[in-house]
Amino acid sequence: MYLPDTYLQHPIWLTIDVERVEDANFGITPKKELAIDYPAILDKWDELTLRYGFRSTAFVLGSFARRFPHAVQNLHQKGHEIASHGYDHQLVYQKPFEVWKKETALAKKILEDIIEAPVLGYRSPSWSLPFEKRYYEALVEMGFVYSSSYFPFKTYMYGNTIDKKHPFVIATPSGEITEIPIPKCFIPFSGGFYMRMLPLFITKRLFRCVTNQKIKPIIYTHPYELLPNLLSRFLSQVRLDKAYVLTFANTGESIKRFELILQEYAKGKV
């Protein structure tokens, strides 16, 4: 079973899905491009993780890498693993299979041309990869050796009800691939909305719950979650479907939370 170094070397696997806020398919439509300094946010991520001795895996969207190749190269040079988040963040199950395949191969090549090294990992946009063998077989054929596209909690948009907590191997006619699922303890807790909105004492308890079961917690975040007050700063510039307000609420809180969690793990308290 292949597991990336960033997973093996730390008590938590830190991951960041590198995309613009405009890319997220959550009912947010900017009236114009938002003036968000993504390279600066990624520098902040690098500083924060390094402060506690962590390196992360960055699942980068192909379209983001085209806009900000230097930011991607910079992350790579600082020792973060560069992996793929697909090309444009459209949900995989809404695309014809062949289109998804072509775009995913293109997105991988964009990243490899920038970092001049192979890209081994894939995470589908919004955990939307169908849990079907042909998709995993296609990933193997493209040269991916692991995926982290599996969210073991069914939501209105994504996720899966199959209960898997540990990384597992999927055998396909073209070879094997590891899937690294996001662990949960009754509910997911270690990223996105959950990480920002749950009370901190519950978050800490859930991290402990997973660690006590000898499962490695996985933090997943996004650059825009590391930007304080995203909504109030940009509200006048976006059309936001009311149903999705919570998706972008409380941003900036994530960075404080990560710091507290990383501190505890770095000290071996958990």
Q: How far is the CB of 13 from Zn ion (least distance, A)?
A: 16
Q: Which helix (H) or strand (E) holds 219?
A: strand 218-221
Beta bridge partners of 77: none
Least distance to Zn ion from the beta carbon of 129, Å?
A: 12
Question: What CA–CA distance (Å, rounded) separates 106 from 99?
Answer: 11
Site for Zn ion in 109-168 (CB under 5 A): 125
From 9-17, 74-82, 107-115, 178-186, span contacting Zn ion (CB under 5 A): 9-17
- Residue 17 touches Zn ion, criterion: CB under 5 A: yes
The residue (of 52 and 227) whose beta carbon lies closer to Zn ion is 227
Stretch that binds Zn ion, among 11-19, 34-42, 110-118, 130-138 (CB under 5 A): 11-19
Which residue stretch of 13-21, 33-41, 92-100, 180-188 sits at the interface with Zn ion (rule: CB under 5 A)? 13-21
Is 55 in a helix, a strand, or coil? coil
Nearest distance, CB of residue 127 and Zn ion, angstroms: 9
* Spatial CA neighbour of 92 closest among 144, 132, 141: 132
- When the beta carbons of 50 and 91 are compared against Zn ion, the nearer one is 91
C-beta of 83: minimal distance to Zn ion in Å?
12
CA atoms within 13 A on the CB side of 96: 3
Q: Return the range that interacts with Zn ion (CB under 5 A); candidates 17-25, 99-107, 190-198, 211-219.
A: 17-25
Q: Which two three-digit tokens encode residue 236?
A: 């006048």
Which residue type is seen at 149? Answer: S
Question: Which residues are CB-contacts of 10 (< 8 A; sequence separation ≥ 6)?
Answer: 53, 54, 55, 265
Least separation in angstroms between residue 24's CB and Zn ion is: 6
81 is a site residue for Zn ion (CB under 5 A)? no
Instruction: Report the residue number whose CB is nearest to Zn ion.
Output: 17
**Left, alpha or beta for 70 (phi > 0: left; psi -120 to 50: alpha)?**
alpha
Which one, of 258, 266, 247, 177, lies nearest residue 220 by Cα? 258
Residues that bind Zn ion (CB under 5 A): 17, 19, 125
